[in-house]
A and B are shown apart, each in its own frame.
Chain A
Amino acid sequence: MLAAALVGADNFIMETNIAAEKFRWKTMISAYILISMRPGKSDRIIEEMRKIENAEKISVVAGEYDIVVRVHVKTLEKLLEVTDKLQLIDGVKKTTTQVIEKEISL
Chain B
Amino acid sequence: MIIRRKYLFYALAFTSAIIAAGTSAIDATISALYIPNAWAFAFSCFIVGTIISLMIVLVFSIPISRKESLGSKLIDPSFKRVRLVRKEELKLHVIAGAGNAILTLGFLSLLSILGDPSTVLPFSQIAILYLVIIESVTEKNMPTISEIQSSIIVTFGAILVSISLTGSISLEALAIVFLVINPAWVVFSIYQRKLKLLKIDNRPNDSLNIRLWNVIFACIFTIALLITSDFFMGTNHLIEGITASIEHFDWVALTMGVTFFSYVFYIRALGIGKASVTQAVRSSAVMFAIPFSILISYFNIIPPFSTDPVMILIKAIGTILVVLGIISFALAMMKAYVFINVKPGYPIEETMKNLWNIRGVTRVTATAGKYDFIIKIRIRTLVKGYEKIIRRLEEIEAIKKFKWESVLKEWEEI
- Most chain A CB neighbours (cut-off 10 Å) among B367, B371, B403, B408: B367
Complex interface bits, B341-357 against A, C-beta within 8 A gives 1, otherwise 0: 00000001000100010
Minimum C-beta distance from A51 to chain B (A): 9
- Most chain A CB neighbours (cut-off 10 Å) among B366, B368, B413: B413
Contact A98:B363 (CB < 8 A) given known A22-B201, A63-B406: no
Closest B residue to A28 by beta carbon equals B202
Minimum C-beta distance from A23 to chain B (A): 10
Contacts of A92 in B (CB 8 A): none
Is A25 touching B405 in the complex (CB atoms < 8 A)? no
Is B337 touching A68 in the complex (CB atoms < 8 A)? yes
Closest B residue to A18 by beta carbon equals B201
- Most chain B CB neighbours (cut-off 10 Å) among A28, A96, A103: A103
Is A25 touching B202 in the complex (CB atoms < 8 A)? yes
Contact A103:B201 (CB < 8 A) given known A57-B413, A60-B408, A68-B405: no
A77 at the interface (CB under 8 A from B): no
Contact of B412 among A26, A57, A96 (CB under 8 A): A57
Contacts of A59 in B (CB 8 A): 335, 337, 407-411
Contact A99:B368 (CB < 8 A) given known A25-B201, A106-B140, A106-B362: yes
CA distance A21 to B337 in the complex (A): 32
Complex interface bits, A91-103 against B, C-beta within 8 A gives 1, otherwise 0: 0000011111111
A1 at the interface (CB under 8 A from B): no
Is B2 touching A58 in the complex (CB atoms < 8 A)? yes
Contact A100:B367 (CB < 8 A) given known A22-B201, A26-B202, A106-B139: yes
A37 at the interface (CB under 8 A from B): no
Is A61 touching B407 in the complex (CB atoms < 8 A)? yes
Is B413 touching A104 in the complex (CB atoms < 8 A)? no
Query: Count of chain B residues with Cβ under 8 Å from any Cβ of A?
Result: 38
Closest A residue to B411 by beta carbon equals A58
B309 at the interface (CB under 8 A from A): no
Is B405 touching A101 in the complex (CB atoms < 8 A)? no
Contact A105:B411 (CB < 8 A) given known A32-B367, A96-B369, A99-B368: no
Contact of B197 among A34, A55, A63, A106 (CB under 8 A): A106
A65 at the interface (CB under 8 A from B): yes
Minimum C-beta distance from B339 to chain A (A): 8
CA distance A102 to B408 in the complex (A): 26
Is A61 touching B413 in the complex (CB atoms < 8 A)? no
B314 at the interface (CB under 8 A from A): no
A50 at the interface (CB under 8 A from B): yes
Is B368 touching A103 in the complex (CB atoms < 8 A)? no
Contact of A98 among B368, B411, B412 (CB under 8 A): B368
A-B residue pairs, 6 tightest by C-beta: A63-B405, A98-B367, A98-B369, A105-B363, A25-B202, A61-B405
Interchain residue pairs with CB less than 8 A apart (17): A22-B202, A25-B201, A25-B203, A50-B411, A58-B2, A58-B410, A60-B408, A60-B410, A98-B367, A98-B371, A99-B367, A101-B366, A103-B363, A104-B352, A104-B356, A105-B376, A106-B362
A32-B374, A100-B366 given; name 15 further pairs at CB < 8 Å.
Answer: A25-B201, A31-B367, A32-B367, A57-B412, A58-B412, A59-B335, A59-B411, A63-B403, A64-B405, A68-B407, A99-B369, A102-B348, A102-B352, A103-B366, A105-B364
